[in-house]
Copies of this chain bind each other. A is one copy, B any other.
Amino acid sequence: MTITHPQGFRAAGSAVGLKPSGRPDLTVVVNDGPSDAVSAVYTSNRCKANPVLWSEAAGADGRARAVVLNSGGANCYTGDFGYETSRLTAERAAQLLDTRPEDVLVCSTGLIGVGGQDFRDRIVGGLADLVAAAGGEAQHGEESAQAIMTTDTVPKTVTRTAEAPVAGGSSGEYRLGGMAKGAGMLAPGLATMLVVLTTDADLPADVLDRALRTATGQSFDRLDTDGCMSTNDTVIVMASGASGATPDEESFTALLTDACLDLMRQLHVDAEGAHHDIAITTSGAASTDEAVAVSRSVARSNLFKAAIFGEDPNWGRVVAQVGTTDAQFDPARIDVTINGVRVCTDSTPDEDPETVVFTREVTVEIDLKAGDAAATVWTSDLTHDYVEENSAYST
């Protein structure tokens, strides 16, 4: 069970020949309602892929009945033809589901530049069988999660169940489901993170939207494996209202955030080429934004990431990155702890770095001594495998 865990959702996955491997590459997720509330966040890259351009416009009214997702081609930088492909995909799905094209969102993932006539024909031509096959049973959710995989080694899914008031004053159960693909920003071809979340809670689009922005801000936005911003990133949440339960905004936001953190961790540990999963926590910051900025600056340092690959607790590279930010701190008072060993106190050497023990998980703690805010950013080390996979993928 994944995206079909909540009531009111059907899904199916199939192989239409977009992937040379013949693996599943097309999926549809249908919201049968009664509600069709939707919200989505997209890549902030200004050079967006065509499916993002389509979905941003189509989903702007807070309503959607379905999402069609494909792997095997990003349909990015494919010009007007590519945009027309996304529109035709939505049109055909709408026809089959008896709804409007503007109620169908489209997501694509795979190599940039892939999105020609063949690509279009296989997707549009494959939709009739796909929609006919869509159901709510467990295996359909799994099929969907597999059909959006590119270089992922495992599908990423999540389910949650919680209590909330229902009409008439009693209490009922509502559910949340989700699937994700991608390896942070590590995936070659840049077409990386796609996430679909479903719930049978009865919530209007504006509540979904605020909850989604909070949840992604604390999860996916803080996974920064190689600093590269994708062209296709999309996170969608759809609410069917089929449970009749209406959780309060705060508890729904907490549940959605928890589910997004779960998916984010699955993306993190499956990041391509990574040998170490690094969590960088900055505390003592004047604000959460500054804590994120400091942690992110370290997460983006190739020198630091290469050092961690070599299991070298090189705290100098951490302090040097802190110094590149505008955060409030005294440059002479920074503490750095790596895997529990305080290697740097007040910007000078403290405990012997030789005593740091390395495992797959690495924690870096930075104390700025400038306030009470804290935040964690997750990243991966810079490895030979990263170089290899990203230099050899498309040639």
User: A28-79: which have CB < 8 Å to B?
Assistant: 45-48, 76-79
Quick check: is A344 within 8 A (CB to CB) of the other chain? Answer: yes
Are the C-beta atoms of A311 and B395 separated by less than 8 Å? yes
Chain A 357-395 interface mask (CB, 8 Å, partner B; 1/0): 000000000000000000000000011101110111111
Are the C-beta atoms of A302 and B47 separated by less than 8 Å? no
Are the C-beta atoms of B391 and A302 separated by less than 8 Å? no
Quick check: is A323 within 8 A (CB to CB) of the other chain? Answer: yes
Given that A323-B47, A334-B47, A348-B78 are known contacts, is A316 also in contact with B387, CB under 8 Å in the complex?
Answer: no
Given that A384-B387, A387-B384 are known contacts, is A316 also in contact with B189, CB under 8 Å in the complex?
Answer: yes
Given that A47-B320, A112-B320, A319-B47 are known contacts, is A303 also in contact with B228, CB under 8 Å in the complex?
Answer: yes
Are the C-beta atoms of A391 and B320 separated by less than 8 Å? no
Quick check: is A17 within 8 A (CB to CB) of the other chain? Answer: no
- This protein's copies in its complex: 2
Within the assembled complex, what's the spacing in Å between the Cα atoms of A384 and B382? 10
Are the C-beta atoms of B112 and A47 separated by less than 8 Å? no
Are the C-beta atoms of B302 and A112 separated by less than 8 Å? no
- Determine the main DSSP class of A at the interface with B: loop
Given that A347-B77, A395-B311 are known contacts, is A45 also in contact with B384, CB under 8 Å in the complex?
Answer: no
Total count of chain A residues near the partner, CB < 8 A: 60
- In the complex formed, the residue of B with least CB distance to A111 is B316
Are the C-beta atoms of A310 and B348 separated by less than 8 Å? no
Task: List B contacts of A323 (CB < 8 A).
Answer: 45-48, 229, 231
Are the C-beta atoms of A77 and B349 separated by less than 8 Å? yes
Are the C-beta atoms of B310 and A190 separated by less than 8 Å? no
Task: List B contacts of A113 (CB < 8 A).
Answer: 316, 349
Quick check: is A331 within 8 A (CB to CB) of the other chain? Answer: yes
Task: List B contacts of A190 (CB < 8 A).
Answer: 303, 316-317, 320
Within the assembled complex, what's the spacing in Å between the Cα atoms of A347 and B230? 15
Quick check: is A286 within 8 A (CB to CB) of the other chain? Answer: no
Quick check: is A248 within 8 A (CB to CB) of the other chain? Answer: no
Within the assembled complex, what's the spacing in Å between the Cα atoms of A323 and B309? 30
Are the C-beta atoms of B387 and A306 separated by less than 8 Å? yes
Quick check: is A312 within 8 A (CB to CB) of the other chain? Answer: yes
- In the complex formed, the residue of B with least CB distance to A297 is B229
Quick check: is A300 within 8 A (CB to CB) of the other chain? Answer: yes
Within the assembled complex, what's the spacing in Å between the Cα atoms of A48 and B331? 8
Task: List B contacts of A301 (CB < 8 A).
Answer: 227-228
Which of B306, B331, B347 touches A391 (beta carbons < 8 Å)?
B306
Q: Which residues of A contact B (CB under 8 A)?
A: 45-48, 76-79, 111-113, 188-190, 226-231, 300-303, 306-307, 309-312, 314, 316-317, 319-325, 331-332, 334, 344, 346-349, 382-384, 386-388, 390-395
Question: What are 8 inter-chain pairs, A to B, with CB distance below 8 A?
Answer: A45-B320, A78-B349, A79-B348, A112-B317, A190-B320, A229-B321, A310-B391, A384-B388
- Shortest 4 CB-CB contacts between residues of A and residues of B: A310-B391, A47-B323, A112-B316, A306-B390
